[in-house]
């Protein structure tokens, strides 16, 4: 469904909001009987002024009408939801169930295993003994079975010892093909499948899902279910960081990393989840003797960073169908001369929009955020990288961290040079749209306190849990939709047609 009743309601709601604003301005002018008040929106009221003439009233009404017209999209949703305490599902919840059989593989998940989509990294955990790190795989229409050998690792964290964590990279797969695969040995073999992406190219439809800050609450389960049941089937999930929230438990109880791995298996074993590191992956706890950042995350979740000449798993890139996806780390150094900075600087010239029209960036901490949570935390990365994002016409930047939804206008704030005073976001057709999708539903609850008034760069914001879909149609058009958990699976609570910044850089409907 491209245009839902909620989208229509959103347009009407935004218009009503703007009409109220215009009516307020006219009323204010009458009340103060001062024409300047009309134009200054009531900021500079003068005590004694002559009554306005009919012609002045006519001009004021015209000004008010002009204020109405560009108001589309500058909206804080008035959707009313029940705010309940968000609690983690208990350890005996069915979604955490351990698969039957001695040493049965669990927490199975896959991610892209190379730069172009012909490789897959299969990961899983065997709880009792190492078992085998081998993956058996075959094409759906073939009986010829292939083998790939992986490696096993373990780690300790304070008083916790992990199970045996296996990672096996499969190379040389055919594009656009369904493969079955098996992990485990003896009586505890488990079978799954995945579909490889189409060959990298400009006019191939491909559908990405988006989830962030998921955690493992009842709301997290609703988010994942809504993603799975969405009729616009996501083929690959872009995860914008903050996975298990195990670090919210005493001693960062790593058993909650295991429960999270079992929880997401129902999706992540069948389609790649593309990982972004969030602050809840840092697990830096010197009081516990744990001083190596990202220890559980790096042992459990792999990324194909070497394939994009990165030197660390936290920043890397992949091509997938029509998209070039750059993943950045908000929690690794990104200042000038740092490895991440130098890597990103070298990365942009490698993007060929004729091959991959859609340039997508993932990070955890949003650069534009009008909630009173984590306010300005993305500011230093914005200062460092926003100019590159605009120069290279990034289509969209997805982030999480703030536990709510927000979509920006196409704006930039790159003119400031310390002395010129130009430090306000301005409309910029070369700028990305910034989308915060940190509303997966974790234990820390919703971010429902917003800065007021809503900044003009903020097109739509709402504190509800949900997920999003970025549905690429061809080199010029992609349809974005945000789906809140309270609605039916097909309902789009916010949506926008994206026009590609390289191939079709015209103003999108709904932009300022
Ligand atoms: Fe976060």
- Give the C-alpha distances (Å, rounded to integers) separating 26 from 29, 250, 277, 453: 5, 57, 49, 19
Distance 218 CA to ligand 1 centre (A): 19
The proportion of the chain whose per-residue pLDDT surpasses 90, expressed as a percent, equals 81
Distance 280 CA to ligand 1 centre (A): 6
Centre a 10 Å sphere on the Cβ of residue 299 and count the other Cβ atoms it contains: 18
Distance 169 CA to ligand 1 centre (A): 29
Q: What is the pLDDT of residue 121?
A: 99
Q: What is the pLDDT of residue 73?
A: 57
Q: 3-state class of 352 per DSSP? A: coil
Give this prediction's pTM: 0.87
Query: Minimum mean pLDDT among 34-43, 189-198, 369-378: which range?
Result: 34-43
**What is the rounded average pLDDT of the residues 28-54?**
33
Nearest of 84, 16, 41 to residue 464 by alpha carbon: 84
Name which residue leads in pLDDT, 176 or 8: 176
Q: What is the pLDDT of residue 86?
A: 87
Q: What angle in degrees, to the nearest 10, is found between the helix axes of 379-391 and 339-347?
A: 20
**What is the rounded average pLDDT of the residues 388-417?**
98
Q: Which residue has the tokens 């006519």?
A: 58
DSSP assignment of 480-512 equals: EEEEETTS-TT--SEEEEEEPTTT--SPPTT--
Spatial neighbors of 364 by CB under 8 A, at least 6 apart, are 212, 240, 241, 242, 276, 277, 278, 279, 329, 330, 331, 399, 400, 401
Question: Does residue 63 register a pLDDT over 60?
Answer: no
Distance 316 CA to ligand 1 centre (A): 19
Q: 3-state class of 93 per DSSP? A: coil
The proportion of the chain whose per-residue pLDDT surpasses 70, expressed as a percent, equals 84
Q: Residue 74's pLDDT band (boundaries 50, 70, 90)?
A: confident
Q: What is the pLDDT of residue 468?
A: 98
Q: What is the pLDDT of residue 80?
A: 66
Alpha helix stretches (DSSP H) within 155-194:
none
Nearest of 75, 15, 18 to residue 408 by alpha carbon: 75
Catalytic residue among 374, 403, 467, 483: 374
Do 198 and 321 touch, CB atoms closer than 8 A? yes
Nearest of 193, 205, 194, 198 to residue 176 by alpha carbon: 198
Q: Residue 14's pLDDT band (boundaries 50, 70, 90)?
A: very low
Q: What is the pLDDT of residue 1?
A: 30
Mean pLDDT for the chain? 88
Distance 184 CA to ligand 1 centre (A): 34
Pairing of strands 190-195, 106-112: unpaired
**What is the rounded average pLDDT of the residues 304-312?**
98
* 252 annotated active-site: no
Q: What is the pLDDT of residue 78?
A: 78
């Amino acid at each position: 469904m491209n245009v839902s009743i909620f989208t229509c309601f959103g347009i009407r709601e935004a218009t009503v909001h703007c009409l109220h604003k215009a009516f307020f301005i006219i009323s204010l002018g009458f009340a103060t009987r001062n024409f300047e008040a009309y134009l200054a929106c009531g900021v500079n009221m003068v005590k004694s002024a002559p009554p306005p003439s009919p012609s002045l009233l006519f001009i004021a009404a015209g000004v008010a009408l002009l204020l109405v017209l560009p108001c589309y999209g500058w909206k804080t949703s008035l959707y009313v939801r029940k705010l309940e305490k968000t609690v983690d599902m208990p350890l005996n919840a069915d979604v955490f169930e351990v698969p039957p059989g001695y040493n049965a593989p669990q927490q199975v998940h896959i991610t892209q295993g190379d730069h172009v989509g012909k490789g897959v990294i299969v990961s899983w955990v065997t709880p009792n003994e190492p078992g085998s790190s081998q993956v058996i795989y075959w094409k759906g229409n073939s009986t010829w079975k292939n083998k790939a050998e992986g490696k096993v690792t373990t780690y300790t964290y304070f008083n916790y010892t992990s199970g045996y964590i296996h990672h096996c990279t499969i190379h040389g797969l055919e594009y656009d093909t369904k493969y079955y695969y098996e992990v485990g040995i003896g009586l505890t073999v488990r079978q799954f499948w995945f579909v490889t992406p189409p060959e990298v190219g400009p006019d191939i439809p491909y559908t990405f899902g988006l989830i962030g800050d998921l955690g493992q609450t009842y709301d997290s389960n609703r988010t994942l279910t809504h993603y799975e049941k969405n009729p616009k089937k996501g083929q690959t999930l872009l995860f914008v960081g903050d996975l298990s929230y195990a670090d919210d438990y005493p001693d960062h109880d790593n058993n909650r990393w295991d429960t999270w791995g079992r929880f997401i298996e129902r999706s992540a074993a069948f389609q790649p989840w593309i990982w972004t590191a969030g602050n809840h992956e840092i697990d830096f706890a010197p009081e516990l003797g744990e001083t190596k950042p990202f220890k559980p995350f790096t042992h459990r979740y792999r990324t194909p960073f070497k394939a994009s000449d990165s030197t660390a798993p936290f920043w890397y890139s992949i091509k997938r169908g029509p998209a070039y996806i750059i993943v950045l780390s908000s929690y690794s150094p990104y200042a000038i001369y740092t490895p991440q900075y130098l890597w990103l600087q070298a990365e942009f010239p490698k993007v060929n929009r004729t091959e991959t029209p859609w340039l997508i960036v993932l990070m955890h901490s949003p650069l534009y955020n009008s909630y009173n949570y984590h306010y300005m935390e993305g500011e230093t990365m914005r200062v460092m990288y926003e100019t590159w994002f605009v120069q290279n016409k990034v289509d969209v930047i997805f982030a999480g961290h703030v536990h709510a939804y927000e979509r920006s206008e196409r704006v930039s704030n790159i003119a400031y040079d310390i002395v010129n005073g130009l430090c306000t976001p301005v409309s910029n057709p070369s700028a990305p749209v910034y989308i915060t999708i940190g509303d997966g539903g974790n234990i820390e609850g919703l971010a429902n306190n917003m800065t007021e008034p809503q900044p003009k760069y903020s097109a739509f914001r709402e504190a509800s849990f949900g997920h999003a879909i970025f549905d690429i149609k061809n080199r010029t058009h992609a349809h974005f939709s945000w789906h809140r958990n309270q609605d039916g699976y097909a309902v789009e609570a916010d949506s926008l047609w994206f026009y590609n910044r390289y191939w079709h850089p015209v103003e999108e409907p709904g932009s300022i």
